[in-house]
Structure formats: C-alpha cells, structure tokens
Structure 1
Amino acid sequence: MNLKYVKMVCLSFSLVACNSPKEEQKNLEESPIQAQEFSTENKKVTVYTTASDTDFRLTITDQRSFSEGVQPLESEISVFVEPKKTFQTFIGVGGAITDASAEVFAKLDPKKQQELLTSYYDTENGIGYTLLRTSIHSADFGSGSFTYVEEGDKELKTFSINHDKQFRIPMIKRAIEMAGGSLLFYVSPWSPPAFMKSNNNMLQGGKLLPEYYQSWANYYAKFIKAYEKEGMPIWGLTIQNEPMATQTWESCIYTAEEERDFLKNYLGPTLEKEGLGDKNIVVWDHNRDLMTQRANVIYSDPEAAKYAWGMGFHWYETWAGGDPMFDNLAKVNEAYPDKKLLFTEGCNEKFDPAKYQFWPNAERYGNSMINDFNNGTVGWTDWNILLDQTGGPNHVGNFCFAPIHADLNTGELIYTPSYYYIGHFSKFIRPEAKRVSTTVSRSTLISTSFLNTNGKMVTVVMNASDEKVSYNLFVGNQKTVVEIPAHAIQTLVY
C-alpha cells in the first residue's frame, strides 16, 4: 500500500498554488454574512482537486479570476451558476458511528484515534462532518445482536443502554467534542426485539406484532431519553431501517400503510406525550425505487403527515439492475415540497482489500451526492465511518467498504478515495447554505453549487470521463475557465 494514502489527512491538503487551505478555511468560516445579492466582483476562484493517478487529494491546484462572460459556443463545455435562483437549505454531511466503527476505534492507539476524529470532524485539518447516525440497539455492523431489554419484557422495566457505554457512546462523545460540541444526531432501529415480532427473530425480516406497537413506540422514547441523559442531544429518528428488505441481519418489514399507521397512532403521539415532540421523524429510510409510493401513502394522510419531517433514502436500488433512480427524488420533492429529503445510508458493498483505491467507488459517491442535492436533498449521511481490514466486524458476514479503514495488524489508517470525494462537499458546504441553480452543457461533467451564509459560493464539479476537460464557469454574466483532470472532482470556492 502506497503510504501517501495512509498519511495524516492534514498533510493531504497540500499547497500547490495560492492561499493555504488554513487561510481559505478561515475565509470560509469568518467572512461576514452577505445580505446583498451575490457578486463575483473582486473575487478569486480557489480550485481544490482530487484526481485519479495523481497525488491530488483535496489539493489546491489553481486560482482563477473572473472576467466578463460572452456567449459560449456549442463546442465548449460550460457550467452555469445562477446565484439569483436558490433552493433547499443544507443541513450537513456525515456518517454513522456503528458498533463496528466503535469496536475498531477502541483497538487503535490514542494517536490514531485522534487522527481518525480529526480527519472526519475537524473543519481545518479534516472534512468537517456535521451529521451523525447510529442504531437503536444492534445492526449487522457489530460483533453480535443485542437489545436494551430482557427477552419478553413488554413493559421495558429492564431497559438499559449499558451495552453502548463500552465502545459506542465514548466514541460518539469524542466525535461531538471534535466537531465543536454539536452534531446533528439521528437514530434508526434495524429490528424490534425478537419477542415483539412475528418470526420471533431479530434477523430475517418478520413484522412487528400489533400487540407490541405501543411497547415499541415507548422503546424509542426510552432510547432518546437515555442517550440525552448521557449528554448527546438527539435531533431525530427514522422509523425503520429498510422496511421492505428481508435481510440475513436485523430487519423488520412495514408496508406503507403499516408504517403510516404506526407513525400516526403510536410513535408520533407517544413522542409528544413523552415531551419529545420536537424530534424530527423520518419515514421510509430505504432505497429510491419505492419511495414515491411510500410518500404518497404517508403524506396523503394528514394525521400521519403532521408527524413526518421528511423522507430518508439509500442508494442500493441498483442491486436489481439499472441505474440510480434520482428522478424519484425530484418527483417526491415536487409533489410534497414541504417535506424534506435526507440521504440516510450508502456504502460500497462486497469488501475486497485489493480495491481500497478503486476509483469507481469514489465516483459513486460523487455522482450520488451531486444528483441527490440537485434533486432537493438537504443532508447526506454515509454508512460506517470506520471498518477494519476485513470490512467489518459484521456478525453475518456482510462485509463492506468505509471511507477509512483501520488495518489492525499494522495499526495504520487507510484513506480510500471515497473519503476525499465526500470531503469535497462536507469540508466546504456548511450547514444553512442554500443550493444555487447549476447546470452543465455536456454530460461529460456533473455539478452542484451552494451559497454559504458567509457569502462564499461553493461549486463542485465532477469528471468521470477518461479525458481531462477544460470548462467555462459562468456565474451570472461573469466567467472563468478551469481544467479538470480525468476521473477527478473539484471544489471551486469563490
């Protein structure tokens, strides 16, 4: 393994030209909020690049100036940004701290633990994550299945989160501290306890039995209160991870009508009764393929819809063949503009250590993030932030990739290209930013833009082709020209 991929992440933000990343980040964080119309006047474009077959990893590679734009030719490739047209408000990018991530983290030496936290949660020397997801008791990523109650305890008298206090909670607290004291933190169950289900098993699907609807709703409330008592404020929750998938791991099936009725009659009212009515409830939490039907059923019922903040989704619909169904996001957003869209999980499946630096894995992230944001998504959450050299631990052998792996045999951290591709968004687009109209004249490139509250515009451009591309960046009636290498992603800050 080339050591350039496992070095301290702060070294990867190297200076090739212009300002240092530290200076640019300071500008991003400290520039005054601009209430007036966005202008390119007297602004430079700082270009950060990550590219295959180069040493560029979130590296400053260029600085450009704007000039008066003239009508581009059809033969040119152009990115058009119109600052006067803004859309959804961004809430952040982040990843999940699972039991697997926490178990691996605990085995690292203190310096590597600090490096990992810095790499993800520091805005200057890392990529500035602001979202966090974790599971309500066990998921597949961890050393085994468990719940917070004894088997058969319908009244939840034995409820305890002591299991999480060994590995998971300490890591979450350190992540929150590294992020500056707060993360937008939400939680998801993979399955109710076995005794509450039709198959008497946390694994292999099954359904929540009607006689346990209230008990299960109470379980969410107890979990949120227990975590908040530990000093970890919970922003929201999803109702069920992947409610249409019968998995070999923890899973539970809800039809659209069943999820609607559980939300309307049990979960929503219970959270309100328990003083947790401010928690944001996210429905669906599954792939883009069936999301429109789920939205139609739940959102068309006013008594259910009033409890739903929005819809979570994953990217795994391609398992059955075909391309990602980004259009479904646009359709849900168009039909229910008052409800939010949140990407809640994605990872590259089928771990193979020979593919740590497999570039298409990173391009999957870039393609999804740009298209998801352009279709109305407000936040984007990766799956495990850390796994070991086997792609685990996973108690059913469902080994996958993470942006960073720890080789526990050597004690080293391995940064995959996916980490840097995610960073092109999370490091520069900050919470409360507004998405700005951005289009591209050729399918060679894809792009999205956000305007931060400090007045800095951020445009992300991705080139998945085999050739370098010279493109015009038009911002209103101003333009500059930028070159992007083959198989590369760039963030332009101006």
Structure 2
Amino acid sequence: MRNITVIQTKKETGRPWERVNNIEWKQKSDNAVSLKLFPKKQYQEWLGFGGAFTEAAAFNWSQLSDANKDAIINAYFNKETGLGYNLGRTAIHSSDFALGNYTYVEDGDVNLESFNIEREQKYVLPFIKAAESEANETLTILASPWSPPAWMKTNGEMNHGGKLIEKYREAWANYYVKYVKAMEAAGVPIWGISVQNEPEATQVWDSCIYTAEEERDFVKNFLGPIMEKNGLGDKKIIIWDHNRDVIVERATTVLSDPEAAKYVWGTGNHWYVSEEFENLSKVHEAFPDKHLLFTEGCIEGGVKLGAWHTGERYARNIIGDMNNWLEGFIDWNLVLDIQGGPNHVGNYCDAPIIADTEKDEVHFNSSYYYIGHFSKFIKPGAKRISHETELADVSLVAFRNEDESIAVVLLNETEANKETSIELEGEGMDLSIPARSITTVVFN
C-alpha cells in the first residue's frame, strides 16, 4: 500500500500548503483515468532550485532585524521548513539590482592589478554565507556579468548596451578568473559562469551586446582557454542567459563549433518575451550532451503584494521548462523592498519575499508558495518521468526522487474545479483539483 501525501494551495482560501485528507489508494479508480504515470521511463536529472544574491537583495536583508533575517534565510534555505534552495546566482560587479554602477578595478587597469571584491564583503557575501550555513552545504552558484567596465566598451559606459572592445577581450576573460578566485578566497566557491546576461538586449541599465558569432568566438578564443589555463577548467560555462524566443539560433551557432562547444556546459534561459517552452527541447535534441538551466525570471513592474497570477506564472514556466529538459531553476532577486528595489535605474520588479525595511516586516507572495510546491518535493538528483494525460487545462510534471518517492505537480489556472484520477503501476486514486490552485501529490 502506497503512502500518499496531497498538498494544495488555492486562491479561494489563500492558505498555503494545505494537506488534503481522506485520499484513498485503491486497485482501480472510479473515474476514467485521465493521468497515467510511467516511473520507469525517465528523462533529465534535476539539479535544484535557487535565487539571486543581488546587491539589492543583500542590502534589503541587511536592513532587517536579526529575527527577520533568520526568517528569510530559513524560508529559502531550510530543507525541512523552507524551500530547500541549493542554487544561487551572483552578479560579477553591478547589475541593475545594485545600489549603483560599480566594478572591481580602477579605470584603465588592463592588467587588473587593482582588482578586489571588497564591496561584496558589505552585503552580498554575508547573505550568501548565512544561506550556506542554513542549507548546511555549499550552494551551486552561477556568476553572471551584466557589463564589462565602461572603459572596455565601445559606448564608454556600463549602461545602454554597447560592445566589448576587441582589444580588451583577453583582459575581460581574465576578469572572470579574478572574480572566481576572489570569491573562493572569500569562502564562496563559484560553480559556473555565464558569458553575458541578456546579450541581445540594449537596456538603460548595465548591458552589453554580443552577436551569436561574437559570443562563440569569445568563448572559443578567450574565456574557455583562459579559464582552463588558470586551473578553472572545471567551472561550468553557460551561454545565452536570455529568453527562449531565439535560444535555438544562439545555441546552434555556438555549439555547432566544436572548438567553442568543448568549453560550454550548457545554455541558460530567461522567461521574458515568450513561453515557447518547446524551444528548449529543440536545443536538447540538437545537442543532447549539453545542459539547460533557467537562470532568471521575475514579475516585472514593481511589487504586487497578494496577487495570485504571479505564483501561477512561476508554476506555468517551471512546468513548461521542466517538460522540455530543463535541469534547474534560478529565480531572480531573493528579497526586494516594498517598491520592488533598490534598482539604480528604477527597473522595479516583484520577488517571492518582500521586505518592508522601514517597518521591519516580511511579506510572502503567492510565488513563494507556488515555487515550494516544486522545490519541497522534487529534490536534487530526481529524474523526470513520463506521463500521459487527458486532463484539459491542467498542466503538470512528474519526477521520481532518489528515495523512490514520486512527486507530481498539477497547476489549474482556470476558474473551474477539475476532477481526475491518477494511475501508477496498476493502482489509482481520485483527485479534485480546485480552481486557481496548485497541487502536489507525493507517492512514497
């Protein structure tokens, strides 16, 4: 007899992670079977979930009382009571979610002799160390640059796009090396780097443009060999780090060149612009030995306390990408203030946890609880399993954990309740999926 746990979060009550009782496991379901699980047919292995330790997030965290600092760290990184995050992302100097533009070197220092990450000692490093202490493990951290220093760029500034001046490609590649080694010396190992955050977007904030050919050649001739030469060949290199719309074209250009591909671990994606989840499968089918990682997504346009659609957007994107070979999910800012910042150009966004630093209050958004429906039950090392469904308007994904438990997450964004039954290895159960809800079913 299987032990079944059903957890639901529904808009009607707004109460998170409610346990559903009186679920009966039986030889045959009364309802026509609309969902079948096939645990022996397995796909990608799951790396985990996490969020970004931006300077903005770290600053917000630092402004709170010790009790609220602990509450946030526990909420994200505790494996029993929290989301069990094991991934993270840092910015290589400033992103838009920083207190201003900054770099780690003095202007014109091509040899990087002035390089130091002292600024990160104030906010970012203490935040990461508190998280790692709670998680009781070294987090898997991806580091991404938003822009090279202004003096290395064609437009002479960190913001508004521009390109890396060719004569500085070697110096810029060495900058990643310096960053990885400095973070390690500060007690925070870096797992991997992306070449450039959103390389096709000219933004009013820190940004830098690379064509697909430029990214390919920078990896092939500078970043890959220079990382390797400096003993950092084990660090993962991720390309693209941008939206799904043209991920296939970018991956094809870079990964079709074996001299570039040999340095690349995989492709990173964001969720802005479109929800063309199938594009991830196209990349996987073309380059099955490479990996796919979600590296950023957030709700744009400031804070939306109490909104329900925000959680639904997270779940829809997580399910869509998971069913198309995604291996890990890194959210954007871990904590924002009540305005959705700080952000040095006013590009305010929402986050799963919002801190009112004036009142010393912490608010949890629906997105926090929706992410938990995945991260609390689909553990690192889990493998996605096959399913067949006739269930209209309900999206779902299923994974088998290393302890052989099976977790199924079902998202209902409609205004109607849905009745279904789930069949697993000849036995079944009936399940009611409320309107505007997310349900996780765990079979032990």
Q: Secondary structure at the match of 1:155?
A: coil
Note the C-alpha offset of 1:172. Answer: 0.6
Residue type at the aligned position of 1:483: S
Structure 1 residues 357 and 276, CA gap change in structure 2 (3 angstroms)? same
Q: 1:223 maps to which residue?
A: 179
Matched, 1:436 2:395: no
Question: What is the aligned counterpart of 1:114 among 42, 66, 70?
Answer: 70
Matched, 1:387 2:336: yes
Residue type at the aligned position of 1:458: A
Note the C-alpha offset of 1:62. Answer: 2.8
Q: Deviations over 1:5-64 (max 9, x none)?
A: xxxxxxxxxxxxxxxxxxxxxxxxxxxxxxxxxxxxx21210011110214301212353
After superposition, residues 28-427 of structure 1 pair within 5 angstroms as: 42-62=1-21, 64-69=23-28, 73=32, 78-318=34-274, 324-352=275-303, 355-427=304-376
Kindly indicate whether the alpha-carbon contact (under 8 Å) linking 1:45 and 1:63 is maintained by their aligned counterparts in 2. Answer: no
Residue type at the aligned position of 1:386: V
Residue type at the aligned position of 1:94: G
Quick one: distance in 2 between partners of 1:385 and 1:69?
Answer: 44
Moved more, 161-170 or 47-56: 47-56
Quick one: distance in 2 between partners of 1:259 and 1:96?
Answer: 23
Q: Secondary structure at the match of 1:312?
A: strand
Could you tell me which runs of 5 or more consecutive residues in structure 1 were left unpaired when the two chains were aligned. Answer: 1-41, 319-323
Note the C-alpha offset of 1:229. Answer: 0.8
Q: Secondary structure at the match of 2:289?
A: coil
Q: Percent identity at matched positions?
A: 47
Could you tell me which runs of 5 or more consecutive residues in structure 2 were left unpaired when the two chains were aligned. Answer: none
Q: Deviations over 1:333-380 (max 9, x none)?
A: 11111111100000000014xx31111111000100011000000001
Structure 1 residues 71 and 210, CA gap change in structure 2 (3 angstroms)? farther
Quick one: distance in 2 between partners of 1:110 and 1:164?
Answer: 20
Quick one: distance in 2 between partners of 1:314 and 1:87?
Answer: 22
Q: What is the CA RMSD across the aligned residues, in angstroms? A: 1.2
Q: Secondary structure at the match of 1:343?
A: strand
Q: Secondary structure at the match of 1:347?
A: coil
Kindly indicate whether the alpha-carbon contact (under 8 Å) linking 1:44 and 1:65 is maintained by their aligned counterparts in 2. Answer: no
Q: Secondary structure at the match of 1:64?
A: coil
Kindly indicate whether the alpha-carbon contact (under 8 Å) linking 1:264 and 1:307 is maintained by their aligned counterparts in 2. Answer: yes
Kindly indicate whether the alpha-carbon contact (under 8 Å) linking 2:29 and 2:429 is maintained by their aligned counterparts in 1. Answer: no
Quick one: distance in 2 between partners of 1:439 and 1:345?
Answer: 29
Quick one: distance in 2 between partners of 1:443 and 1:421?
Answer: 21
Kindly indicate whether the alpha-carbon contact (under 8 Å) linking 2:341 and 2:349 is maintained by their aligned counterparts in 1. Answer: yes
Residue type at the aligned position of 1:61: V
Q: Secondary structure at the match of 2:20?
A: strand
Residue type at the aligned position of 2:297: G
After superposition, residues 9-28 of structure 1 pair within 5 angstroms as: none
Q: Deviations over 1:60-119 (max 9, x none)?
A: 12353322246964xx7x222111100000000111010000110010000000000000
TM-score normalised by length of structure 1: 0.88
Quick one: distance in 2 between partners of 1:69 and 1:221?
Answer: 59
TM-score normalised by length of structure 2: 0.98
Structure 1 residues 303 and 98, CA gap change in structure 2 (3 angstroms)? same
Question: What is the aligned counterpart of 2:436 among 457, 464, 487?
Answer: 487
Quick one: distance in 2 between partners of 1:489 and 1:252?
Answer: 38
Q: Deviations over 1:435-470 (max 9, x none)?
A: 111232133211101111111111111111101112
Structure 1 residues 256 and 71, CA gap change in structure 2 (3 angstroms)? farther
Q: How many residues align?
A: 443
Q: Secondary structure at the match of 2:182?
A: helix
Task: Write out the 4+ residue segments of structure 1 that deviate beyond 3 Å after TM superposition.
Answer: 69-73
Kindly indicate whether the alpha-carbon contact (under 8 Å) linking 2:29 and 2:430 is maintained by their aligned counterparts in 1. Answer: no
Kindly indicate whether the alpha-carbon contact (under 8 Å) linking 2:146 and 2:196 is maintained by their aligned counterparts in 1. Answer: yes
Q: Deviations over 1:179-206 (max 9, x none)?
A: 1122111100000000000001100000
